[in-house]
Amino acid sequence: MKSQRNVSEFILMGLSSDQNIQIFCLVFFLFCYLSILMGNLLILISIGCSSLSHQPMYYFLSHLSSIDICYTSLVTPKLIGDQLVGRNTISYGYCMWQVIVMHFFGLIEILILTAMAFDRYVAICKPLHYMIIMSRTRCNVLILAAWAGGAVHSFSQFCMIIQLPFCGPNTIDHYYCDIFPLLKIACTDTYLTGVFMVANSGLVALVTFILLFGSYVVILFTLRNHSAEGRRKALSTCGSHITVVILFFGPSIFAYLRPPNTLPEDKIFALFYTIIAPMFNPLIYTLRNTEMKKAMRKVWCQKVFLEEKHN
């Protein structure tokens, strides 16, 4: 622990040292963060104020939106603030906190996406038993399991990362604190730690993605026996989920399922699972989902009507 105190803060190199690119990033990230907040809050309010909150799929979606807000709020506001004031430092304590909480919410998001895939599998492959299998109690258990899984995962990351000694260079080639950039500047042999991190993060993402892919193969196979209208409705909801899964899992697998080193492309791929995917999630789930669009029109048109009546 004494060697760790030799470094009290880290310098984040960010995405680019070019001032014009930094200005573009400031405007872009501000737009993205406002879009994430408004889009996910829109989903949360629309589901909470409608009957959709009683359906398992939208129950999971509301939790996914909450996690997206928490997940991006850990990185994006600081990134925007640093661009505004021209500061690119982060304290040792907040850096460790960022790593732990990012992996905490990251695994929760993975497990909620898995629960949503399970919900679609039951709805399409076992429709007669859907209400029994996907009861509210079971949905609550799945959400609690996601939070417990995230806690176990982040705690294991914490136990490994907190022991790393930082006594030399303190410049991190990233726009937030992540595991592999920290391993690169630690003044000790980090090979075994890196292998553990790959197994703990990369394999989890890969195995989950394979399970999700397999579930949708079964779903698409089962849809052959449905009517044209049933196939259209099922593909509408499944298509939204598959798009979100690809946006989130593709970059995550690239980032963590490889030898523990840093690449220039890491920062670009990290943008997808920290900012881009959470920004597109509300658009994907609303524009491609008829029930969500109906609920939003009903909730927001009713609010406008009540406000006009009150005035």
Q: Mean of the pLDDT values across residues 42-65?
A: 87
Whose tokens are 């044209």? That residue is: 228
**Domain contains 203:** yes
Handedness of CA 142, 143, 146, 148 (dihedral sign): negative
Distance, CA of 34 to chain centre = 16
**Domain contains 3:** no
The pLDDT tens digits for 181-221 are: 888 888 888 888 888 887 888 888 888 888 888 888 888 88
> What are the CB-based long-range contacts (under 8 Å, 24+) for 52-60?
52/291, 52/292, 52/295, 54/136, 56/119, 56/134, 56/136, 56/139, 57/116, 57/119, 57/120, 57/123, 57/237, 58/291, 58/292, 59/136, 59/139, 60/112, 60/115, 60/116, 60/119, 60/139, 60/142, 60/143
First to last CA, the chain: 63
**Domain contains 2:** no
**Domain contains 102:** yes
**C-alpha atoms less than 13 angstroms from C-alpha of 51 in its C-beta half-sphere:** 3
pLDDT at position 262: 63
pLDDT at position 1: 41
**Domain contains 140:** yes
**Domain contains 250:** yes
Task: Look up the CATH number of the domain holding residue 39.
Answer: 1.20.1070.10
DSSP β-bridge partners for residue 172? 12
Number of domain units in the chain = 1
Domain span including residue 280: 9-308
pLDDT at position 303: 56
